[in-house]
Amino acid sequence: DTGVSQDPRHKITKRGQNVTFRCDPISEHNRLYWYRQTLGQGPEFLTYFQNEAQLEKSRLLSDRFSAERPKGSFSTLEIQRTEQGDSAMYLCASRGVGGNTIYFGEGSWLTVV
Amino acid sequence: AQRVTQPEKLLSVFKGAPVELKCNYSYSGSPELFWYVQYSRQRLQLLLRHISRESIKGFTADLNKGETSFHLKKPFAQEEDSAMYYCALRSGGYQKVTFGTGTKLQVIP
């Protein structure tokens, strides 16, 4: 499968713990996005990378959230000191140079207990 | 601020009946509008973009700037159309895409 892959697919963590999600975009896609989706809602934009540069960031991304894309390929999204309100599906997506279509991964489910 | 509204959480139609999934948006500039679809156990995928003015799987959507709407239509629903549909908007110059809350289309055989 050469689509966007995310890991882990499911994560259960205790409140206060840190979690990290990884996203591998489609090869050679220079644009990468993170979204969050809760039950009954559409995806909410979190952040956008073009190559390794983080160019857009939502106000939803509190200080506890940090995203990186150090080499312009895979990306990580870390949530520190998790809260129950962080429970959601975290979606990654990518888009190629000159491409019009954003391709989504299957998402990483986070449950904070 | 940009906003996308999908007033219906669930739309049930019989096979062969026409389908219209409503989408209204608020944005002061010239937006780019999309419809995304998520079939059961599959990832979210692009269905169509208003710029392309194309028909995908029999679906069409026309951007009406006067009514700030981008309704998705299909003349004859098929069972395989059952899915979650999201309307989305991207403002010029930015990469952020704003999604609506989605409408679940259920096609009854």
pLDDT, tens only, A36-95: 999 989 999 999 999 999 999 998 888 999 999 998 899 999 999 999 999 999 999 999
Chain A contact set for B95 (CB, 8 A): 31, 33, 48, 50, 55-56
Confidence check: pLDDT of A98 > 60: yes
- Rounded-to-integer distance, Cα A98 and Cα A57, Å: 22
Q: Which residue of A has its CA nearest to B40?
A: A106
Look at residue A1 and tell me whether its pLDDT is greater than 60. Answer: no
Q: Could you read off the pLDDT of B22-68 as tens digits, one per residue?
A: 999 998 778 899 999 999 999 999 999 988 878 889 999 989 989 99
pLDDT of residue B30: 80
A6: alpha, beta or left? (left if phi > 0; alpha if psi -120 to 50) = beta
Mean pLDDT computed over every residue of chain B: 93
So what's the pLDDT on residue B31?
Answer: 86
Tell me how far CA of residue A66 lies from CA of A20, A74, B33, B87, in angstroms.
9, 14, 29, 28
Cβ–Cβ gap A42/B101 under 8 Å: yes
